[in-house]
Chains A and B, each alone.
Chain A
Amino acid sequence: MRKGSSAPARRGRISSTIIVGLALAAAGAGAEELLPARFGVTGPLALPGEPAARAMPRGQGGAPVAAAVPEDAGGPGLTAEFGPLGLPCGASLSAEAAPGGTARLRLEAPCQPGAAVTISHGALSVTFRASSSGVIDTVLPAFEDAARYSARLPDGELLTASALVPGASAYERVVTMWEGAGGLSVHAFEYGAGRGEAGHVWRGAPRGAQAAEAGRGGFLLALGTAEGAGARRAEVYSFPAAVAARAGAVRIALAAAVTPATCGGEIEAETLQLGEGLPGAPVAVRVTLPDCAAAAGDLMLKNLARDLKIAAQ
């Protein structure tokens, strides 16, 4: 068994801390060329040694590290060093800024095809299914300009990556998260839009980050690709409040699907609202769904999330 990141720091690994420290200082100034990549990872930057989470405690500010790769030490032997496609087994996570206050994340775990990987960012935590070649390529929101991400592999290994996403904190966010099936979906009604109209942003009409960059309004990310009981999913609605050209409001409703499978039962989820410099903490929500005699459809919860008040900038 490969030792996970939970193993205590050992002597001889201190140097990796220093390397990460150097990378912290140099990143953003062409650090990618300064440091040698290892394990053949093609990401912008790969660091050997202890997972960066150890060297760079969470909650501490810092310049971005594009990727960190844990040391492969303590592995079962040479047979585990290469995956089915002949790639070295070392897993890596990289993050880079993407439009709309998001980051593009790429996880490569050649020896863990199809693995369910939970990627976390602040209070957000979502499970993705790796491809048959062990790759996850996804976009996650960045709640801060200096955004840190971590990925937990099924074997317990923890990878971290950071990205500098200028302007990420200019977005108002409405987040719902849940485990397994069901959950709460976000419906945003921008500037008085009605259901099904152009300003109604939801999973069925998510718009895109480019629309937000162009000042056309918000967009929705439906996150999570893994199935099964423990798999976590999320929806994130982002609105560029700090650069909005028009004053008005975005009304937010959260919807729970009432189906023959869910009616009369309960659903559990978490909600989180971020923006305007106020710290947001996730709130666990349990909703009792209408009994099965009532018509199926969405149970719209209008007051569970606060509406966004937009001032013209």
Chain B
Amino acid sequence: MRPTRSAAAMLAALLLLLLVPRALLAQDVTLTSRDGSFALDGTMLGFDGEFYRIDTVYGPLTVDAMGVTCTGSGCPDLEAYVAEVTISGAETMGAVLMPALLEAFAAGRGLKAAREIRDALGFTYTISDQEGRALARIDFRLTTTDEGFADLVAGEADLAMAAREVRPAELALAREAGIGALSAPAQSRIVAFDAYVAAVAPANHLPAISPEDLGRALAGVIADWGGLGGPEGEPLRLHAMEAAQGAQQGIEAALLAPSGQSLSPTAIRHGDAAELADAVAGDPFALGVTLASALGTARGLPLAGGCGFTVAPEDAAIRSEDYPLVAPLFLYAPARRLPAIARDFLAFLSTPTAERVIRRAGFTDLGARRVPLAAQGERLGKAILAAGDEVPLSALQEMVRALEGAERLSPTFRFRPGAAGLDAPSRGNAIHLSEALEAGVYDGRELIFAGFSDGEGGAAANLRISRTRAETVMNAVRALSETADFGRVRLSALAFGEALPMACDDSAWGRRVNRRVEVWIR
């Protein structure tokens, strides 16, 4: 057989290696090609069941185990190989969600999962086949998002669980450590959505709260229920999580930081989101912000967007990010090859089974739901009431005609405040939607990317902006869907400007909710 160009180049590289004096480090393995023609000495760094990673005088090399024989004290036993995977980071993800997903993954493949609990913050799963042979040990360290990134950078974790996006400083550290660009789609994925929710007792009848009022209550500026339209003179008992909790940091970043406020020192602190919710549920005069997944018996307050718009923290609104306080849960991976079982587990996370497990664990999955036009009467009614000089009735009629017979899909694309880039949940949605397109889920259908703007500025300019956004998102999804057959599914972009507001434009919150690209299917 004639060697290919790349094989010849590799052979040349390997021959060159043999001519160079050996390094002084402990050479504990020799990899010899099957035909014995050349050999490579080095120190075994790892084996993932398929590939050896060895450190040589030329730095770390990855070698296919099938092509070589390994001799020396550092050689792993190929038959007895057990994949070792460490998952570290946010407790909110690691406590219930990730174990439930891992157990479902194992059960779906006919594998057995056994869990060993070390302490409150650590446990290990052993995944075995039906004969009882261990295939993988998955170690969980439940700490915080910060710690998860630190473990990833230090090489002590293979996956980091994060309740927030990676920060620029962490990105830089990761790049320095040689584990790649953590923000790249190949290295990060959103597993599920959670949301920050203002919680009150079921016996508290406050109908809704605006994000601004919520911020003032958290800051202690509003300390009386009268300030929220409730009974005057009734002190508001504020509850919060411990400062070290990632969720608490996220809540303060979303609700307090933009207005330069900080949390009231009188807040009663709790160890986690569930504890907070349970405490609030028992006290009609208590208020706290918790996670939707941990709400329990407490009542989640709808957010009032002004102008009569409210949005409740319910599954459909979290899924479409129409509810503005969505908290995505991420997994970050280093730019190195993970063991096959870990890669399979990551692929499992976007299956319909995983979506069911995510919902059952109390979180919102990324799967697309359909909402027919008929179910959106309230939003249309408000649009008609708001029609006037800027948006004439004819524009609304045109919109309804354009979307007639179509259904809205839940994934909605929104943008970073003050930037053209998509926000984190929307990037997760783009990847999820492209996976569905590649799988042929929408074959034979038309996907309409419908751009909307806020009402700031002139209607004509807003129409232009919304068209640019719709086309940008459509092109991004198309580019992500590498293997999709666009002969079978049609993508189109439409723009409607400020025609269909979902919130009031008189607040930054409202404008952000209104600036969006919806996806409709026909």
Contacts and interface: CB of A to CB of B under 8 A. Distances in A.
Interface of A: 191-192, 248-249, 251, 275-276, 278-281, 283-288, 301-304, 306-307, 309
Interface string B84-107: 000000000001100110011011
B117 A301 contact: yes
Contacts of B118: 288
Interface string B291-328: 00001111000000000000000000000000000000
B117 A249 contact: no
A191 B297 contact: yes
26 contacts: A191-B297, A192-B282, A192-B296, A192-B298, A248-B202, A249-B295, A251-B296, A278-B356, A281-B112, A281-B113, A283-B114, A283-B115, A284-B113, A284-B114, A284-B115, A285-B115, A285-B117, A286-B117, A288-B117, A303-B95, A303-B99, A304-B115, A306-B96, A306-B100, A306-B361, A307-B296
Contact of B119 (A275, A284, A288, A307): A288
Given A303-B95, A307-B296, A307-B362, A286 B115 contact: yes
Given A249-B296, A286-B116, A286-B117, A306 B360 contact: yes
B147 interface: no
A125 to B, nearest CB: 15
A309 B362 contact: yes
B278 interface: yes
Given A276-B360, A285-B117, A309-B362, A303 B295 contact: no
Contacts of B107: 279-281
B281 interface: yes
A191 B278 CA distance: 9
- In the A-B complex, the 3 residue pairs with the closest CB atoms: A284-B114, A281-B107, A249-B296
B274 interface: yes
Nearest to B102: A283
Contacts of B100: 306
A304 to B, nearest CB: 7
B274 A251 contact: yes
Contacts of A283: 103, 113-115
Contacts of B112: 281, 284
A212 B294 CA distance: 24
Most A Cβ at <10 Å: residue of B112, B114, B356: B114
A183 to B, nearest CB: 14
Interface of B is mostly: mixed
A286 B123 CA distance: 9
A249 B295 CA distance: 8
Interface residues of B, number: 30
Contacts of A306: 96, 100, 360-362
B450 interface: no
Given A248-B297, A286-B114, A301-B117, 12 more contacts: A191-B297, A192-B281, A192-B296, A275-B360, A283-B113, A283-B115, A285-B115, A286-B116, A306-B96, A306-B360, A306-B361, A307-B362
B470 interface: no
A278 B117 contact: no
Interface in B494-512: none
A304 B278 CA distance: 18
B188 to A, nearest CB: 25
B204 to A, nearest CB: 13
Contacts of B113: 281, 283-284
Contacts of B114: 283-286
Contacts of A285: 114-117
Nearest to B95: A303
Contacts of B357: 278
Contacts of A307: 96, 274, 296, 362
Contacts of B356: 276, 278
Contacts of A279: 107
Contacts of A249: 295-297
Given A286-B117, A288-B118, A303-B96, A192 B297 contact: yes
Nearest to A289: B117
Nearest to A284: B114
A278 B360 contact: yes
A280 B114 CA distance: 14
B296 A287 contact: no
A99 B296 CA distance: 27
Nearest to B113: A283
Contacts of A191: 297
Interface in B106-150: 106-107, 112-119
Contacts of A278: 104, 356-357, 360
B360 A304 contact: no
Interface in B230-244: none
Contacts of B281: 192
Contacts of B362: 306-307, 309
Interface in B349-393: 356-357, 360-362
A275 B359 CA distance: 13
A192 B116 CA distance: 29
Interface string B245-289: 000000000000000000000000000001000100110000000
Nearest to B111: A281
Nearest to A266: B116
Nearest to A277: B356
A113 B249 CA distance: 64
A181 B174 CA distance: 49
Given A306-B361, A309-B362, A281 B103 contact: yes
Interface in B326-362: 356-357, 360-362
Nearest to A279: B107
A276 B360 CA distance: 8
Contact of A251 (B99, B103, B278): B278
Contacts of A301: 117
Contacts of A275: 360
Contacts of A192: 278, 281-282, 296-298
Nearest to A267: B117
A249 B299 CA distance: 11
Contacts of B104: 278
A118 to B, nearest CB: 20
Contacts of B296: 192, 248-249, 251, 307
A260 B117 CA distance: 20
B318 to A, nearest CB: 14
A161 B137 CA distance: 39
A287 B117 contact: yes
A310 to B, nearest CB: 9
A126 B364 CA distance: 36
